[in-house]
């Protein structure tokens, strides 16, 4: 068989582990040929690819990023995108494509699959917001990075008796904020799923100071918003790909809290550091398992589907189901965290 692999959308620790696993399983165990498209769907649309053999993937397991490069370009962005992709699949004699990506990539995968292309998807995102899989690789690494940063920030916040508002990634969901905030013992967590009231938040942080504590850490998912009318808020806009360009929750919250509490407040934006660097062992293992199962699905001819983790098993789910909804933080999970803030 001839299989094409690509990584698309925001990068994520563990992508290289999937590529490596696909090549090992396909080339060594099945005698397949594997090619990798450069920079996501862009590589497929421009027929820009490289041959992937064992040498090509040697030494990449622990490396962050993606050896194939990534972009946010999607077939739907071009008038003839789907036709072009189909043409190149035919020209290259591909029996299957394995796109590795998040919400946007999986939607593109579904579009191409509906047009008749043989696709098996692999989900990835540090945001952990793909509903049909219990976990996505990259999340564990991102939570670890954010937790370590929060631990470090506590000591400087304490030295200066400050309120630090730490912005973590999470456009639509607050999983990184929830988990890192719980793990590091933050004092308040705000997430997109649960618009906050600025007076309630200020009161909560203020109580801490009244109780004699000298500092406070607020973790804010970048997509968190105040309750309508609760404070003036600049939501920002969208980039050329339709992705949110947030105006900055941490900066806005720091100004509001400083004014209400009379305490020095500072915004800290963790940003892309959460996506960079070495994946954790957990993420490497999950990514490797996804790669293995994606190749098996290709050999079974199980197209239009995606790998997913359910409990400890890897299962296949339909791409249609995978892109239906996002996995948001449920109220009871927030309550568990709130109890220890």
Binding site members for ATP: 10, 72-73, 102-105
Known binding-site residues for substrate equal 125-127, 162, 169-171, 222, 266, 272-275
Residue 31 or 237: the one with the smaller Cβ distance to ligand F6P is 237
Would strands 120-123 and 305-310 be described as parallel, antiparallel, or unpaired?
A: parallel
Residue 157 or 189: the one with the smaller Cβ distance to ligand F6P is 189
Site residues, ligand F6P (CB under 6 A)? 10, 102, 125-127, 169-171, 222, 243, 275
**45 contacts 79 by C-beta, under 8 angstroms:** no
Would strands 265-269 and 163-168 be described as parallel, antiparallel, or unpaired?
A: parallel
State the Cα–Cα distance between residues 257 and 254, nearest whole angstrom: 5
Minimum distance of ligand F6P from residue 72's CB (angstroms):
7
Residue 170 or 226: the one with the smaller Cβ distance to ligand F6P is 170
The secondary element (H helix, E strand) that includes residue 167 is strand 163-168
127 in catalytic set: yes
Q: How far is CA 160 from CA 204, 224, 270, in A?
A: 20, 26, 20
State the Cα–Cα distance between residues 93 and 114, nearest whole angstrom: 19
**307 contacts 297 by C-beta, under 8 angstroms:** yes
Minimum distance of ligand F6P from residue 11's CB (angstroms):
8
Residue 32 or 129: the one with the smaller Cβ distance to ligand F6P is 129
Return the SS3 of 303: coil
State the Cα–Cα distance between residues 213 and 24, nearest whole angstrom: 54
Residue of 32, 127, 140, 283 marked catalytic: 127
Minimum distance of ligand F6P from residue 201's CB (angstroms):
22
The residue whose Cβ lies closest to ligand F6P is 169
**100 contacts 15 by C-beta, under 8 angstroms:** yes
The single-letter DSSP state of residue 27 is: I
Minimum distance of ligand F6P from residue 239's CB (angstroms):
7
Minimum distance of ligand F6P from residue 113's CB (angstroms):
21
Q: Is the torsion defined by CA of 286, 291, 297, 302 positive or negative?
A: positive
Residue 32 or 222: the one with the smaller Cβ distance to ligand F6P is 222
Known binding-site residues equal 10, 72-73, 102-105, 125-127, 162, 169-171, 222, 266, 272-275
**Which residues are tagged catalytic?**
127
């Amino acid at each position: 068989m001839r299989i094409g692999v690509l990584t698309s959308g925001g990068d994520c620790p563990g992508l290289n582990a999937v590529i490596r696993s696909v090549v090992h399983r396909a080339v060594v165990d099945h005698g397949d040929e594997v090619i990798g498209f450069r920079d996501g769907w862009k590589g497929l649309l421009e027929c820009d690819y490289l041959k992937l053999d064992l040498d090509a993937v040697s030494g990449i397991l622990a490396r962050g990023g993606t050896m194939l490069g990534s972009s946010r370009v999607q077939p739907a962005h071009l008038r003839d995108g789907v036709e072009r992709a189909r043409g190149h699949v035919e020209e290259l004699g591909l029996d299957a494509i394995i796109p590795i990506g998040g919400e946007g990539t999986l939607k593109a995968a579904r579009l191409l699959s509906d047009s008749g292309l043989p696709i098996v998807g692999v989900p990835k995102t540090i945001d952990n917001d793909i509903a049909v899989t219990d976990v996505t690789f990259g999340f564990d690494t991102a939570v670890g990075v954010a937790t370590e940063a929060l631990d470090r920030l506590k000591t400087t916040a304490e030295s200066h008796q400050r309120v630090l508002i730490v912005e973590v990634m999470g456009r639509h969901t607050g999983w990184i904020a929830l988990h890192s905030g719980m793990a590091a013992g933050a004092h308040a967590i705000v997430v997109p799923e649960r618009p906050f009231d600025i007076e309630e938040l200020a009161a909560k942080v203020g109580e801490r100071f009244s109780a004699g504590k000298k500092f406070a850490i607020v973790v804010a998912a970048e997509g968190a918003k105040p309750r309508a009318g609760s404070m003036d808020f600049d939501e920002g806009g969208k980039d050329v790909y339709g992705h949110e360009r947030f105006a900055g929750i941490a900066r806005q919250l720091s100004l509001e809290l400083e004014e209400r509490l009379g305490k020095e407040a500072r915004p800290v934006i963790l940003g892309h550091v959460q996506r960079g660097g070495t994946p954790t062992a957990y993420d490497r293992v999950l990514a490797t398992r996804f790669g293995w199962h994606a190749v098996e699905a290709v050999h079974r001819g199980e197209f239009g589907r995606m790998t997913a983790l359910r409990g400890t098993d890897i299962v296949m789910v339909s791409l249609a189901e995978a892109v239906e909804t996002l996995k948001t933080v449920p109220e009871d999970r927030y309550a568990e965290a709130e109890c220890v803030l």
